[in-house]
């Protein structure tokens, strides 16, 4: 696969087949894109349409071992039903005796996590643009009665136009809302909390409640032990947005529409969703 083919994929997978009707023979498999607990992700090209996708390979043995059948089925149903510029598409799936294959939209620039780790932190304009894009995606998901619960840099993917896109599965302690730490009932507001954590990490390079141990991380989350290190590149407006999202009472967290109206977002986010310096 050459660079031009992967950068300009055909926008229609020819006569997209119903899920389960695909097979591995329909794809040219390229380089590995990532590796997880349950399988691997590869760059792939659908042979007929030349459409570039990410092919996620999940091992049935792992699904059996961790009894994840229902969770996986639910995630597949949800993701295949969503269609939004900032939501990673699931085009279809198929399986063989040992593996399940998910045909996913390919995000050309990979995980936002990699970009964050390379630069240490993001500029306010970049951070605001990503938060605005993700807020729009979450508003769409919430309208569809879907709670994400698992927003974190490793799960956010950048496509070629730099819009942030949500992905699925896995979990990290730093991003859990207090109600989830305390095993209480939770609703859509867990995503609003996580936007606050994400915004903080974009700007400071580390999550706000990071600690030496799981116990201490949980303690800091439950107490909302939030502090802002002195740094010239983070404005008072950014800190205000974070503080209004990282609120223990979930009913008092800033709503998604109010995030989009917040002065920091209005001032810094590129309305096109593209990051430019």
For residue 59, what are the β-bridge partners?
99
pLDDT of res. 135: 92
Residues 47 and 82 in one domain: yes
Domain annotation covers residue 12: no
Digitized pLDDT (tens) for each residue of the chain, 277 residues in all: 333 333 333 445 534 555 558 899 999 999 988 777 777 888 999 999 999 988 989 888 888 887 778 777 777 776 766 676 666 778 888 999 999 998 888 876 555 667 777 778 999 999 999 899 889 988 888 787 766 544 444 444 444 334 344 333 233 678 889 998 898 888 888 889 989 999 999 999 989 999 888 889 999 999 999 999 998 999 999 999 999 999 999 999 999 999 999 999 999 999 876 665 5
Contact 32, 4 (CB under 8 A): no
**Cβ atoms 165, 156 nearer than 8 A:** yes
For residue 63, the Cα-to-chain-centroid distance in whole angstroms is 22
* 2 in any annotated domain: no
Q: Which of 89, 105, 121 is the last residue of a domain?
A: 105
Largest CA distance in the chain: 56
Identify whether residues 193 and 254 lie together within a single domain: yes
Q: What is residue 106's predicted lDDT score, i.e. its pLDDT?
A: 82
Question: With b meaning 16 or more CB within 10 Å and e meaning fewer, what string describes 83-104?
Answer: ebebbbbbbbbbeeeebbbbbb
116 shares its domain with 237? yes
Same domain, 173 and 247: yes
170 and 248 in a common domain: yes
Give me the pLDDT at residue 184, please: 87
* Residue 58 sits in the same domain as residue 157: no
Angle at 132 between CA 201 and CA 267, to 5 degrees: 95
Q: What is the structure's pLDDT at 110? A: 55
- What is the CATH classification number for the domain harbouring 59? 3.30.200.20
Q: Are residues 120 and 257 part of one domain?
A: yes
Active-site residues, by number, are: 150
State whether 42 and 129 are in the same domain: no
Report the pLDDT value the prediction gives residue 30, as an integer from 0 to 100. Answer: 93
Q: Last residue of a domain, which of 81, 105, 129?
A: 105
pLDDT given for residue 45 in this prediction: 94
Q: Which of 78, 105, 132 is the last residue of a domain?
A: 105
Amino acid 109: pLDDT: 54
Give the pLDDT score at 3: 32
- pLDDT for the residue numbered 102: 87
The C-alpha atoms of residue 63 and residue 169 are separated, in whole angstroms, by 13
Q: Could you list the residue range(s) of the whole structural domain that residue 263 is in?
A: 110-268
Question: Using CA atoms, how far apart are residues 89 and 155, in angstroms rounded to an integer?
Answer: 14
Q: Which residue, 6, 108, 103, 111, is CA-closest to 52?
A: 6
């Amino acid at each position: 696969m050459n660079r031009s083919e992967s950068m300009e994929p055909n926008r229609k997978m020819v006569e997209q087949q119903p899920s389960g009707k695909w097979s591995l023979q329909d794809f040219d498999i390229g380089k590995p894109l990532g590796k997880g607990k349950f399988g691997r992700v590869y760059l792939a090209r659908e042979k007929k349409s030349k459409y570039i996708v990410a092919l996620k390979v999940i091992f049935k043995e792992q699904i059996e071992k961790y009894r994840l059948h229902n969770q996986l089925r639910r995630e597949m149903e949800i993701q295949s039903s969503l269609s939004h510029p900032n939501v990673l598409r699931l085009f279809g799936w198929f399986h063989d005796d040992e593996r399940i294959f998910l045909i996913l939209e390919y995000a050309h620039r990979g995980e936002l996590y990699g970009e964050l780790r390379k630069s240490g932190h993001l500029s306010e304009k970049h951070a605001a643009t990503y938060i605005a894009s993700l807020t729009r995606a979450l508003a769409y998901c919430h309208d569809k009665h879907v709670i994400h619960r698992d927003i974190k840099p490793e799960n956010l993917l950048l496509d070629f136009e730099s819009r942030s896109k949500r992905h699925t599965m896995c979990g990290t302690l730093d991003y859990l809302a207090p109600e989830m730490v305390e095993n209480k009932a939770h609703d859509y507001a867990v995503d609003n909390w996580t936007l606050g954590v994400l915004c903080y990490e974009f700007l400071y390079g580390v999550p706000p409640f990071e600690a030496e141990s799981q116990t201490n991380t949980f303690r800091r989350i439950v107490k909302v032990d939030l502090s802002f290190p002195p740094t010239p590149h983070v404005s008072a407006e950014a800190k205000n947005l974070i503080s209004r999202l990282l609120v223990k009472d979930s009913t008092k967290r800033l709503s998604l529409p109010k995030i989009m109206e917040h002065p920091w977002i209005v001032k810094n986010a590129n309305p096109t969703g593209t990051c430019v310096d």
